[in-house]
A and B are shown apart, each in its own frame.
Chain A
Amino acid sequence: MDSFKAEKFYGNQKNSITPNIDSLIQNGCYFTQAISSADGTILSWSSIFTGKYPFKTGIRSSRFNKLNKDTTTYFEVLQKQGYNFYAYLPVLSETVGLFPDFQNDDCFYDFFLGISNGLGDKMLKKLDHNQMKEPWFFLVHAMDLHPPIVVPQEFDNEKFGTNYYEKKVSTVDTWIGKIHNRLDLEKIILVITADHGSYVQSALTDDKQIETNPNAALQIAASKMASKAPKALQPLKDKLFFMREKISDQMKREAIKNLNLLPHEKRAILAGRADKDHFLFDDKLRIPLLFVGKNIPKTSIIKSQVRTVDILPTISELIGTNIIENTDGQSLVPLMEGKSLQELPIYLESNPLVIKKSNDVIGIRTSDFKYFRDKDDASKRIHLYDLSKDPFEDFNISETNPHKVAEMEDLLQTIIRETPQIENKENDEESEEIARELRKLGYL
């Protein structure tokens, strides 16, 4: 589920109605402190499906490099075990070289599809009609919670949540219920997670809920229209996008100028897709991670910090396939079985902007501290947060804690130095063009 925030999936910050998610959590293992290595989809995918930190995979973004040819994906491992792949993925997935050939022709969809507006029906059809050849791996990436978020009229009521995001979560939950009903969890493993979290543009102040979620339906219509425009108009489209974001930012600043907001509330409301300065706050990194089904103990809630790179080794152990060597992850099965497991720091990086250069950051997170700084210069844009005392990351304590900063920088360097960054030797644009031509000839 793209952009699903952990605290809106489970816990005391959730105000949605989610009987189906709750039931699944009760019948499986839910990790409350699962952290994505990246705040954007492409880098996060690279990490989830290879078990490696994004910078080791070769993938940088949807328009830049693709998966390094020496990097093994989990799909390759499953392919050798005879698995059949089915998927519903946004169309940008084609560009990164991460995914296998899926057996369903309709595997790539328009960017805005979610389980509550079409994808759910497609999934039910696949599951109902037993269309998938066993053993199968069914990968679904749904965009319900990715901005712009449209709340269906029947859920646009405060009983379903205090803001648009929570109401949409209630919507999504009904679909999770429908899908769950079609799954034989004695036979399969269901994993629900997210690529990254999200900023919810809403805050409660003076007992008043303020929201700056712009007209989502209008935004979707504008984006769809832009996507149909000829490629030659790309610079103009980009310009219009930045103009729209600028106007939206001005309106949001105007709306909150007299409000007394905490730093995390303010940054959530002001966050925009065209922001040049990137950060690594938990809003965008903390994701749900739920395992339920065959071989999964019903141990319910696990609070240790775990990472997206751990998902692959965990699935490997659960279904008994070979574990890919040299991953950064570790199997979480011991935690599921109530055993102890060393908690490891997690490497973090922000997803670069595609259209123009962004100021990106890299960092480290432990259960207790979050540290990040400029991607290219360790002395710039330094942030340090004491997560145990300041879970919303309101107070940057880097200046007063130079020793902790140095300690976290050491941890970061250890990970960076572990594996030299792999240079992607292939000319990817060229390779993509060849693939296009081979597709025309019917060879792919």
Chain B
Amino acid sequence: MNLIFITIDGARVDRIVNGKNYKKIIKNSALFSRVIAYAPYTIAAMHALFSGTYGTKTGVNSYWSNVNFKKDKYKTLAKYLQDEGYVTHGDVINKLVLPPIGFDNLVIHDELNDNLTERHITLLDKFNNISKEGKKFFLYLHYSNIHTGIMQEVLKKYDNFSKEYFENRQKNEQFYDDLFEEADEYLGTIMGYIEKLGLNKDTLIVVVSDHGISVGEKFGERAYGVFCYDYTLTSTVIFSHQNIPTVHIESQVRSIDVLPTILEMLKIKTDTNYERFQGDSLIPFTENKGIPKIAFSQSGNPLKTGKPPKEPNVWAVRTDEWKFIKNTHDGTEELYSLINDPSEENNVISNFPQKASELRTELDRISSDI
């Protein structure tokens, strides 16, 4: 079975579940709508997802550290597939976002000028022909135009403390909606084309969003990559193939679980020459046997420097009920009861010291596993 892996960079879950084309796909797929990203920004998020392992272990724990990826210790999705004889090709926004190992070709597109829909359709044609030659393929497609719009109209125009941005929530929502609508159109066209070519029969299609994006929820974060709140940490994954049951899993899972899930779906064995990944296959969830696990995340708050730090300074652990955050840049801690306070407005750490202690211990346990 082939694999087509599509990343819709910066797609928010609240839009995904209402997206016109997304809904059509979800109708016949397994949707995990609460996939907690290791990091709320693409570089560290995608390295964790591709290796099934947190950045604390792989070395990619900041915007700056893709070069630290321990490729000899952690086997990536692309490498697994390459070793299985797949022809592997990636079309990405930037060279920093994915570990290049395992890709026969990893090509950088020009997010400002390329028409990604046309570009990716051309790639689908090409890989359809490869498939007809009897070869298996792995095609990675990165849709980057939500990022492009945010970069042009938010990152470049405001800083994390621009009042003008945070006082115009409605405008921000509208702007994001317009960007999302284009992403949804892109996805609809691509999925339609895959179907038209008949590739869907023998291809596992995985559609992920790597992280969410702020529309002005919290002062101090105009986009993402600052805090560890749910509006950026919650990502999604859709597995689509005729053999996969149609389910919508709302329980928390982790982005590091995606790799083991794909490997199980493609019946590829774990390579024991490498360190074992930290994630676990999500297939039990599709059979109603899944056990939610605690999720660990890290972000790098640039504070007032305007530059992401080289080491993470916001650490978090999350369960379906609770989130505990440790801001190492100022020593503060936060605790949120996610059931009662899903938008994480009320820090209840002083009311629940026992819960905080328990989660702090978990955070220390995970973060010390390096």
Chain A interface (Cβ within 8 Å of chain B)?
A: 69, 79, 100-101, 427, 430-431, 434, 437-438, 440-444
Contacts and interface: CB of A to CB of B under 8 A. Distances in A.
Given A434-B67, A441-B147, A441-B151, A101 B95 contact: no
Contacts of A69: 310
B151 A442 contact: yes
Given A430-B67, A437-B94, A443-B63, A79 B305 contact: yes
B66 A101 contact: no
B110 to A, nearest CB: 10
A434 B93 contact: no
Interface string B293-306: 00000000000111
Nearest to B64: A434
Interface string B173-209: 0000000000000000000000000000000000000
A130 B241 CA distance: 62
Given A101-B305, A437-B94, A443-B307, 13 more contacts: A79-B304, A101-B307, A430-B67, A431-B64, A434-B63, A434-B67, A438-B63, A438-B96, A441-B96, A441-B147, A442-B155, A443-B155, A444-B308
Interface residues of B, number: 21
A200 to B, nearest CB: 41
B194 to A, nearest CB: 28
B151 A434 contact: no
Contacts of B93: 441
B253 to A, nearest CB: 27
A444 B155 CA distance: 9
B307 A440 contact: no
Contacts of A444: 306-308
A101 B225 CA distance: 18
B156 interface: yes
Contacts of A437: 94-96
Given A434-B66, A434-B67, A437-B94, A442 B156 contact: yes
Given A442-B151, A442-B156, A101 B67 contact: no
Interface string B36-71: 000000000000000000000000000110110000
> 5 closest pairs, A vs B, by CB?
A442-B151, A442-B155, A101-B306, A437-B96, A434-B64
A440 B94 CA distance: 9
A100 B305 contact: yes
Main secondary structure of the interface of B (DSSP, over half): loop
Contacts of B96: 434, 437-438, 441
Contacts of B310: 69
Nearest to B308: A443
Contacts of B66: 434
20 contacts: A79-B305, A100-B305, A101-B305, A430-B67, A431-B64, A434-B64, A434-B66, A434-B96, A438-B63, A440-B94, A441-B94, A441-B147, A442-B150, A442-B152, A442-B155, A442-B156, A443-B225, A443-B308, A444-B307, A444-B308
A437 B95 CA distance: 8
B123 to A, nearest CB: 22
A64 to B, nearest CB: 19
A69 B64 CA distance: 14
Contacts of A431: 64
Nearest to A101: B306
B73 to A, nearest CB: 20
Contacts of B155: 442-443
Contacts of A440: 94
Nearest to B302: A443
Nearest to A103: B306
A70 to B, nearest CB: 12
B347 to A, nearest CB: 25
A179 B307 CA distance: 32
B308 A438 contact: yes
A443 B66 CA distance: 15
A443 B305 CA distance: 11
A101 to B, nearest CB: 4
Interface string B150-167: 111001100000000000
Nearest to B151: A442
A438 B152 CA distance: 14
A271 B131 CA distance: 69
A442 B151 CA distance: 6
A444 B147 CA distance: 14
A434 to B, nearest CB: 5
A282 B152 CA distance: 50
B335 to A, nearest CB: 28
A100 B303 CA distance: 13
A100 B306 CA distance: 9
